A and B are shown apart, each in its own frame.
Chain A
């Protein structure tokens, strides 16, 4: 099955600086890579996703890059703000597969702390 590794587990950056979170995946059949943000006591919420036919996607201060050959993808947050503080999860999935539990395989999360 798929295995997703995520680094770092904790990331502390100064407000206004950029933050980068990296993930690697093991199953070359995975073709969908979402990123979720989870604030304390809240549900995970999708912030951006990318499919394997795209190398990069951007939405305002958030961008995701994908390297299929190396099987890794990254989340980039620029001009960080206090409200960006949360746990961020990467995930991977094969959209064309009906096997397994067909859910998302998540990384273990990154606790992003924005220092004022």
Chain B
């Protein structure tokens, strides 16, 4: 089984609050990601992070900010939560650094965490 974990699994909060979701991987991967899955099951990339290099999807509001205390963690902070933020958030990791060529196909695989279901009331 993959070793990407997230906490909490469920998060229910009021509009306007600030919350964080934690993600940890013990696979020794060097790139981590955050995805958002909406109520229609659509999965969309939010961020990728590698070696202090953050790549942001331009559609993500600046209320969302990833923080990486070390290579194994990429936490997601959300300020001033809105109703539309309700979704399942998945963390993922891969061994491949963005923009590099790696002949080992398996390192391109992104392994997903179990997800955090965020409900904003």
Query: Which of B2, B31, B41 contacts A108 (CB under 8 A)?
Result: B41
Min CB–CB distance B108 → chain A (angstroms): 6
Q: Tell me if B98 and A106 are in contact (CB < 8 A).
A: no
Min CB–CB distance B81 → chain A (angstroms): 21
**In the complex where A97-B98, A98-B98, A100-B55 touch, is A106 in contact with B108 (Cβ < 8 A)?**
no
Min CB–CB distance A49 → chain B (angstroms): 7
Q: Tell me if A102 and B44 are in contact (CB < 8 A).
A: no
Determine the interface band of chain B, counting residues with CB < 8 A from chain A: 20 to 34
> How many residue pairs bridge A and B at CB < 8 Å?
79
**In the complex where A97-B99, A101-B55 touch, is A43 in contact with B45 (Cβ < 8 A)?**
no
Q: Tell me if B45 and A105 are in contact (CB < 8 A).
A: yes
Contacts of A29 in B (CB 8 A): none
Q: Tell me if B57 and A100 are in contact (CB < 8 A).
A: yes
**Chain A interfacial residues counted at CB < 8 A:** 28
Q: Closest residue of chain B to A95, judged by CB? A: B108
State in angstroms the CA–CA spacing of A85 and B56 once bound together.
34
* In the complex, B121 has a CB within 8 A of chain A: no
Q: Tell me if B112 and A103 are in contact (CB < 8 A).
A: no
Q: Tell me if A106 and B90 are in contact (CB < 8 A).
A: no
Q: Tell me if B55 and A49 are in contact (CB < 8 A).
A: no
* In the complex, A89 has a CB within 8 A of chain B: yes
Query: Which residues of B72-121 are within 8 A (CB) of A?
Result: 90, 92, 96, 98-102, 105, 108-115
* In the complex, A115 has a CB within 8 A of chain B: no
Interface residues of B (CB under 8 A from A): 2, 31, 33, 35, 40-48, 55-57, 90, 92, 96, 98-102, 105, 108-115
A-B contact pairs, 26 of them (CB 8 A): A32-B108, A34-B108, A42-B114, A43-B112, A44-B90, A45-B112, A46-B110, A49-B108, A89-B43, A95-B96, A95-B108, A96-B99, A98-B55, A98-B99, A99-B55, A99-B99, A101-B47, A102-B45, A102-B99, A103-B33, A103-B45, A103-B47, A104-B45, A104-B110, A108-B40, A109-B42
Closest 10 CB pairs of A and B: A98-B99, A103-B45, A102-B98, A101-B57, A43-B112, A106-B43, A101-B45, A102-B48, A98-B98, A109-B41
